[in-house]
Structure 1
Amino acid sequence: MPQQQSLFDTSPPVWELDDAEQRRVARVVLSSGPAGEFDYLVPDQFADARKPEFLAEAGRRVSVPLGRGDRAVVGYCVDVSVTTTGGRKLKSLAGVLDASPLLSPRMLELGQWIADYYMTPLGQVLECILPAGVRGKAGTRETTLFSVPTKVAARLTTLELPEKQLAVLKVLAGSTKPLTMKQLMMRAECTSGPINTLRKKELIASRVERIDTDPLLDQEFTRRGPMTLNPAQVAALKSITAALDSRRPRTMLLHGVTGSGKTEVYIQAIEKVVSFGRQAIVLVPEISLTPQTVGRFRERFDRVAVLHSHQSDVERHRQWKRIASGDVQVVVGARSAIFAPTPHLGLVVIDEEHETSFKQDTAPRYHARDVALERTRMDKVPLVLGSATPSLETWQAAQSGQYELISMPDRVSNLPLPEVRAVDLRREEHRQGSRGAISRPLSQAMTVALADGGQVMLLLNRRGYSTHVQCPACGFALKCPDCDVSMVYHRQANHVVCHWCDRTEPPPTYCPDCKDANIRYGGFGTQKLEAEVAARFPNHPVLRMDTDSMRRPGSHEQALDSFRNGEVDILLGTQMIAKGLDFPNVTLVGVVNADTSLHFPDFRAAERTFHLVTQVAGRTGRGERGGRVLVQTLSPDHPAIVAAMNHDYEGFAASELPEREMLGYPPYGRMARLVIRGPVDKVTLAVGDDLAAKVREACREVRVIGPAPCTIAKLRNLFRYHILVVAPNRETLRTALAPLAGKLKLPEDVQWIVDIDPIDMM
C-alpha cells in the first residue's frame, strides 16, 4: 500500500521474510494520524488462544510502532489473517490493549460503511462509535448500600426507636433493593444522622459495591400495563408487527399528528420484540431525553439502558457493558445510541426523525437516520421512523414506495387539533399599544388564558436580551472581531457575546466610531421577552428555557417539572420547548416571531420553519380544555406558515417538493458541501477554486456551485468559503469527490472539510 511504504520502508525491519513464508498479519487503522490501513506482524505471544486476554483479533485496540522513530500509537485491529508477506518488511504489534473485543464484526462492517460514505478515515469513525469511557476503561464508583437484616425486619414492629430512626427502617425494609445513602435520605426525608445511628446499633447492614451513578437509575417507577389503543393505533401496531414477523429489513414511516399516541405504538411493538428475547433501540432528540420520556419506558420494561451526552464516562461505560452483555431490553438514547452494542437487535425506532440534531456536526458527519437504515439492513430487522412533520427526504421515500407509510391522522380520544391563527405584524392595529415583542392580540389572548386558569407557552428562537447593538447616529453595528456576526447583549451577565466563538466583552457605553452616547440595543431575545412578560403579567410566575438558563445538570428536568406541576404559569424559550412535551393544561401557545429562520439562504429554510411552528403548536390542546395558537409573522402568506396554521403537512410537501425536484436538491438528488477556511482571504478563495475545478474535472454530471462566501463569511478569525456539489445519485457524487479522498497539497493553515448530505448551510 503506497501510504504504508512511504511511512515504513526507511525503518529498520523487524522481520525480513521469504516471499513464500506465511505469517499471521494484523490489519490496523489508526485512531489519529495518517489514514489508511497498515499491516503488522502478530508475535506469537499475541496469537496464543490459551491466553485470550492477550489475543490479537479484530475489534480490539492495539499499540503499534509508527514511523522512523517507532513512536507508539493506538490503533484498531480490523482483521487478522495468515498470509504471505510478499517480501514486505513489516513491524510487529507492540501490545494488545483490550482483554476482549470492543467492536463486533457487525460494528466493524458498519464503521467501514460510515467511513466510505462520509469520507472519513476508519480509525476516526471507530473512535466515534466507541464512547471515551469505554475506550478509557472507566471504572464504576464505590458506593455504600444499606439494607435491613432479616432478623431485624422480623421484629420491626416491636422495636422502640425515635420517630426518624423508625421511619428510616420502614423505608429501607419496604424497598425491593438496597439503597444508597442519598436515596435513603431522600425517601426517609432525613439527614445522615439517623442512618449512622442505626448502623452503630447494627439495625441496618451496609456493604460497599461498585455501582453506576446515573440519577435516572435512582428513581423507582411503578409498572404500568399497556394502554387501550384506538383504531389508527391498532392498525399501525399491526403493520409493525407484520414487519417483525417477516424477519426482513423493512423501513416504515409512522406519520402521526402531534398527540396521536405514537409512543404507545412504539412501546407495544417493543414489548413484542422483547417477548422474542430480542432488544430494541429507540433514538430520540437529545432535548427530548428527559426523565418523563425515559420514565415511560421504565414503567413498561424491567431493563432499560439510557445513553446521553450528560453521562459521565463511568456511567456510559457501565451502560455499554450492560447492553453488550444482552442484559438490556431497550436502549433509549440520542444520536450516538445507534451504535449501542446490542447482541440481539430486533427493532430500531427513531422518534421525531426530522430533527436536525440527528446529524453529527463534527467528523464523521453521519446522520443517525441513514446509519440506522444501514444497520437495520445488515441485521435484517425493521426500522420505524416516527414524526408529525417528517423530513421531505423520508416523506418522498414513503410516497415512492421505498418505505411503508403508516398514517395516524387523529389525536387520541379524538381531541381536536388546536386552532392556529396568524397575527400579521405588518398591520398597524396589531402593533398599536405595544413597543415590545408581544402584539396586542397575543397579549389579550394571554390575559384570557391565564384568567381561565390555563398555562401559556411562548416560542422565540433567539437567545440573549438584544440581538444587535447599533449606533443610531453613524450606523455602526457591533460585530465580533473574530467572526462576521453581530454580538448579542445578555443583560443578566451584563456582557455582549458572540454565539459562534463564545467571545465575551463588556457592553459599549458609547459608539466606538463616532463616540455618540446614545448607542441602541435592538432586537428581541428570550431574556428581553422574559422581562417584558414579567412586567406585563406580574402576578404570574414566568420561566425561561434556553441554553443560557439551562446550563446546570438537571435544570432542564427541574424546569419542566415546575411547569407541569403548575408552579409556573408562563413558559417561554427557544426550540427546546417546542418538541415532545405533553402539558394538558397549556391552552395557549404563542410563536413570537415565526420568521426567525424563514429567510435564511438555505434550501431547507421553509421546511425548518414549518417543522418548528407545527411542533410548538402541538404542545397545546392536549387536554379536555382545548387550546389555540397565535403565530406572529411578517410573512402570513408564505406557504410554510399557511400550511403550519392548517396542520397541512401534505399540502406543504406538495408545494415544496416540485421546487426541490426542479433544482435537483434532496430528496431528488445527492449533495455534498465543501467548506474551506483559512487566515488569508485570497489564499482561501484560491484553494476553493482549485477544489471546485478538481470536482468538475472528475465528473461532468454534477452541478458545482461556488466557491462562495459562507453565510458567516468569517468565523474564529478564519475566512470561510463553501462549495455545493449536487449529483443525481450517490454513485455520481462519489465519483465527483474521488479526487479529494487522497492527500491534497494545501497551503499552510488552510483547512477543508466535506459534509455529505449537509443539514447546516451556515
Structure 2
Amino acid sequence: MVYKFADIVINRPIEGPFTYSIPESLKEDLKIGSIVEVSFGNKTVTGYAVGLSDKCDIEKIKPINRIIDKTLAIDSKMIELTKWISEYYYSSWGEAISAAIPGALKKGVSVKRHRKEKHDEPGEEFEFIDGSSEHLTPNPEQQEALDSIINSMNARTYKVFLLHGVTGSGKTEVYLQSIAHVLKLGLSSIVLVPEISLTPQTVARFKARFGDKIAVLHSRLLGSKRISEWKRINSGEARIIIGARSAIFAPVKNLGLVVVDEEHETSYKQEDVPRYNARDVAIKRAELSNAVVILGSATPSLESFYAAKNGKFTIIKLSERIDSRLLPAVDVVDMREEMTRAKKIPIFSQKLKEWIEKDIAEKKQVILFLNRRGFSTFINCRKCGYVIKCKRCSVSLTYHFDKKKLVCHHCNFTMAPPDICPECNASYMKYWGIGTEKVESEAHRLFPAAIIERMDTDTTRKRGSHDKALSKFKAGGVDIMIGTQMIAKGLDFPKVTL
C-alpha cells in the first residue's frame, strides 16, 4: 500500500511524532524506519519515520524533504526498543532513536556518499595483544553452564542468565562457546564490555576465534570507521558485535545472544540524554528478539542478584578458578600507622616502596591503580572551609597540574585555581586529595631511575594513544604503569608481579 503521510520523530527534547506529507517521488521508497530530512520550524533536521497513514486531519502539512539513505532503515524491533527507552527513561523518542544510529547519519550523510577511507581489518589495531584461538575443553561447571544456555538458544526463548563466576573461573570461555553455538544456529551476538579500554583485549581473543565475523563499535571510532562497521553489521557480514554500551544499538540481524561482561559496572550507565543503563537495555532488546542474555560478573550488582534470587534471572555459578589456580595474595596496609611513622600523609606505604624497588631491581613490572585522575581532588579555604565547586554542577573541582586548571569531571568546566578564597578573601587555599598525576609525581621522586607512564583519559585522548601505551608496556618499555580503571581489568602482562 502506498501511504500519503508519515509520523516523524526528531532528535529534540520535545514530544512527537509530527505528521509530514510524503511527496510522490518518495512514496515508493519511504517506509517505517527510514531516516529522513525534514523542515522543523525554520531549521532543517534529521527525523525518523515511525508510522505511516493515508489520512490526516491537519491542514498545511509540510512535506518530507528527502530520504537520507534509501538503502538503510531502522528495523521494527529497534523502533520498539527506542520507544521503550523513551518511556522508561523519560527522554523524547527522537533522542532515543538518535542514540541508536551513527553520528554521520544523524547529520544527514548517506552511507553511500560517506567518504571512503582505507580501514584496518576488524580488531587489527589490537594485534599487540595476544589472542588464543584454542578451543578449550570446558570443566564440569562450565559445561553445566553451557548446557543450560545452549538449551535456551535452541528453543529460541528469551532468558536471562546471571553467570556468577569468581575471577579466573573461565567466564569468557563460556561466552565464546555460547557465541560459537549461536553462529551454528545462523544467529548473531552482541558482546558488551564496560569500558572502551577493555575492548582491545576482548577483540583480540574473539578475533583469534572467529576471524572477520566480528565488528567493533565504541565512541572513539572515527565517523567513517563507525559507518563502515555499522554497514557491515546491517548487511549481515558481521555477526558478532563487540563494544562498549552504545554497541547494544548495533543493527544486527537475527539476534540470538547478548553478553554483558562485568554487568555490575557503573560505566554501562549513559549520563547524557538519552540516559539509559546498557545492561537493562540489553535485557529488553533480548526480550523483543527472543534472545538469550548472559550477565557475567564476579561481583553481581544488587539488582541482578535480587532478580536471580527471585527467579526472574537464572543464576549459574562458577566457583573454582581454572586449573585450581590460587587468587593473588592481598596485603592490607593501615595508612594511619604510616602517617604516624612518617609524620605526614604519605602516598606510598613503606612496604609498597620496598616491593616496588625490589621488582624494578629484578626487571619486573608494576601497575599502580587509582580511580581518580588529576592532581588534587579539591581545594578549600583553611579559614572558612569553603570548597571551590563547579558553577554548573555544584561538585568540587579537581586540580590538574598538567593544565594548571581546576576541572569539573562531569561537565568539563574549567577555571584557574584562585589564590584568594572567593568567600572570605583569605589567602589560605589548601590542595587536598590524591589523583593519578600526584601519584606519578611522587613515583618519579621515589624511583628516579624507573620508566614511569600514566594512563587515564587525560593521557589517552589522541587516537591510538591508548593502544600505543599498552604496547610499550607489554614490550617491557615501562617499569611502572599508573592509571585509572582502564588499566585495572582485562589485561594480562606476564612481567607484572605487583
Alignment partners' CA distance in 2, 1:404 and 1:577: 31
User: Which residue number corresponds to residue 196 of structure 1?
Assistant: none
Q: Measured at CA, do residues 515 and 32 of structure 1 come closer, stay the same or move farther in structure 2, by a change above 3 Å?
A: closer
Paired residues for 1:107-118 under 5 Å = 107-118=78-89
SS of 2:53's equivalent in the other structure is: strand
SS of 1:423's equivalent in the other structure is: coil
Q: TM-score, normalised by structure 2?
A: 0.88
Aligned partner of 1:312 among 211, 215, 222: 222
Q: Measured at CA, do residues 376 and 413 of structure 1 come closer, stay the same or move farther in structure 2, by a change above 3 Å?
A: same
User: Which residue number corresponds to residue 373 of structure 1?
Assistant: 283
User: Which residue number corresponds to residue 276 of structure 1?
Assistant: 185
Residue 235 in structure 1 maps to residue 144 in structure 2: yes
Segments of 5+ residues of structure 1 without an aligned counterpart are: 1-21, 50-54, 143-209, 589-762
User: Which residue number corresponds to residue 202 of structure 2?
Assistant: 293
Paired residues for 1:243-392 under 5 Å = 243-302=152-211, 303-392=213-302
SS of 1:248's equivalent in the other structure is: coil
Paired residues for 1:667-678 under 5 Å = none
User: Which residue number corresponds to residue 478 of structure 2?
Assistant: 568
Aligned partner of 1:96 among 62, 66, 82: 66
User: Which residue number corresponds to residue 53 of structure 2?
Assistant: 81
Residue 62 in structure 1 maps to residue 36 in structure 2: yes
SS of 2:241's equivalent in the other structure is: strand
SS of 1:571's equivalent in the other structure is: strand
Which is higher, the Rg of structure 1 or of structure 2? 1
User: Which residue number corresponds to residue 110 of structure 2?
Assistant: 137
Q: Measured at CA, do residues 273 and 498 of structure 1 come closer, stay the same or move farther in structure 2, by a change above 3 Å?
A: closer
Contact 1:476 1:511 in 2 (8 A): no
CA deviation string 1:587-636 (max 9, x = no partner)? 32xxxxxxxxxxxxxxxxxxxxxxxxxxxxxxxxxxxxxxxxxxxxxxxx
Alignment partners' CA distance in 2, 1:289 and 1:214: 18
Segments of 5+ residues of structure 2 without an aligned counterpart are: none
Residue 212 in structure 1 maps to residue 122 in structure 2: no
CA deviation string 1:404-441 (max 9, x = no partner)? 11111222221111232322233367643765211223
Structure 1 residue 297 displacement after superposition:
1.0
Aligned partner of 2:350 among 440, 445, 462: 440
User: Which residue number corresponds to residue 77 of structure 2?
Assistant: 106
Q: Measured at CA, do residues 237 and 311 of structure 1 come closer, stay the same or move farther in structure 2, by a change above 3 Å?
A: same
Contact 1:60 1:96 in 2 (8 A): no
User: Which residue number corresponds to residue 423 of structure 1?
Assistant: 333
Paired residues for 1:512-531 under 5 Å = 516=427, 520-531=430-441
Supply the AA of the counterpart residue of 1:107: M
Paired residues for 1:663-702 under 5 Å = none
Alignment partners' CA distance in 1, 2:153 and 2:391: 53
Alignment partners' CA distance in 2, 1:494 and 1:219: 34
User: Which residue number corresponds to residue 751 of structure 1?
Assistant: none
Q: Percent identity?
A: 42
Structure 1 residue 353 displacement after superposition:
0.9
Alignment partners' CA distance in 2, 1:270 and 1:33: 38
Supply the AA of the counterpart residue of 1:293: T
Structure 1 residue 76 displacement after superposition:
1.6
Paired residues for 1:347-746 under 5 Å = 347-427=257-337, 431-432=341-342, 435-470=345-380, 472=382, 474-475=383-384, 477=386, 479-480=388-389, 482=391, 484-508=394-418, 516=427, 520-588=430-498
Aligned partner of 2:9 among 16, 20, 29: 29
Structure 1 residue 213 displacement after superposition:
5.4
Alignment partners' CA distance in 2, 1:228 and 1:74: 50
Bigger drift between 385-394 and 549-558 goes to 549-558
Structure 1 residue 298 displacement after superposition:
0.9
CA deviation string 1:54-92 (max 9, x = no partner)? x2211113344556x7x654422112234x54x543625
Contact 2:146 2:178 in 1 (8 A): yes
Bigger drift between 330-339 and 415-424 goes to 415-424
SS of 2:50's equivalent in the other structure is: strand
Contact 1:432 1:440 in 2 (8 A): no
Structure 1 residue 565 displacement after superposition:
2.8
Q: Measured at CA, do residues 407 and 453 of structure 1 come closer, stay the same or move farther in structure 2, by a change above 3 Å?
A: farther
Supply the AA of the counterpart residue of 1:463: R
Alignment partners' CA distance in 2, 1:88 and 1:499: 47
Bigger drift between 276-285 and 34-43 goes to 34-43
Supply the AA of the counterpart residue of 2:432: G
Alignment partners' CA distance in 2, 1:111 and 1:465: 40
Structure 1 residue 34 displacement after superposition:
4.0
Structure 1 residue 448 displacement after superposition:
4.2
User: Which residue number corresponds to residue 646 of structure 1?
Assistant: none
SS of 1:350's equivalent in the other structure is: strand
SS of 1:305's equivalent in the other structure is: strand
Alignment partners' CA distance in 2, 1:75 and 1:250: 34
Q: Measured at CA, do residues 583 and 388 of structure 1 come closer, stay the same or move farther in structure 2, by a change above 3 Å?
A: farther
Alignment partners' CA distance in 2, 1:233 and 1:348: 18
Bigger drift between 570-579 and 255-264 goes to 570-579
CA deviation string 1:421-471 (max 9, x = no partner)? 322233367643765211223333434444555432222222222333455
Structure 1 residue 395 displacement after superposition:
1.0
Contact 1:430 1:440 in 2 (8 A): no
User: Which residue number corresponds to residue 674 of structure 1?
Assistant: none
Contact 2:190 2:248 in 1 (8 A): yes
Alignment partners' CA distance in 1, 2:338 and 2:209: 54
Alignment partners' CA distance in 2, 1:345 and 1:559: 35
Alignment partners' CA distance in 2, 1:551 and 1:101: 32
Structure 1 residue 309 displacement after superposition:
0.7
Alignment partners' CA distance in 1, 2:38 and 2:338: 72
Contact 2:13 2:92 in 1 (8 A): no
Supply the AA of the counterpart residue of 1:358: Y
Contact 2:215 2:242 in 1 (8 A): yes
Q: Measured at CA, do residues 25 and 236 of structure 1 come closer, stay the same or move farther in structure 2, by a change above 3 Å?
A: same
Q: Measured at CA, do residues 511 and 371 of structure 1 come closer, stay the same or move farther in structure 2, by a change above 3 Å?
A: closer
Supply the AA of the counterpart residue of 1:343: K
Supply the AA of the counterpart residue of 1:573: G
Q: Measured at CA, do residues 399 and 94 of structure 1 come closer, stay the same or move farther in structure 2, by a change above 3 Å?
A: closer
Bigger drift between 249-258 and 546-555 goes to 546-555
Structure 1 residue 267 displacement after superposition:
1.0
Alignment partners' CA distance in 1, 2:225 and 2:263: 26
Structure 1 residue 560 displacement after superposition:
2.1
Structure 1 residue 104 displacement after superposition:
0.8
Structure 1 residue 400 displacement after superposition:
1.6
CA deviation string 1:20-59 (max 9, x = no partner)? xx97332222333742223334344333x4xxxxx22111
User: Which residue number corresponds to residue 706 of structure 1?
Assistant: none
Alignment partners' CA distance in 1, 2:469 and 2:459: 10
RMSD: 2.9
Alignment partners' CA distance in 1, 2:185 and 2:339: 63
Supply the AA of the counterpart residue of 1:96: R
Structure 1 residue 219 displacement after superposition:
6.7
Q: Measured at CA, do residues 562 and 229 of structure 1 come closer, stay the same or move farther in structure 2, by a change above 3 Å?
A: farther
Q: TM-score, normalised by structure 1?
A: 0.59
Supply the AA of the counterpart residue of 1:373: I
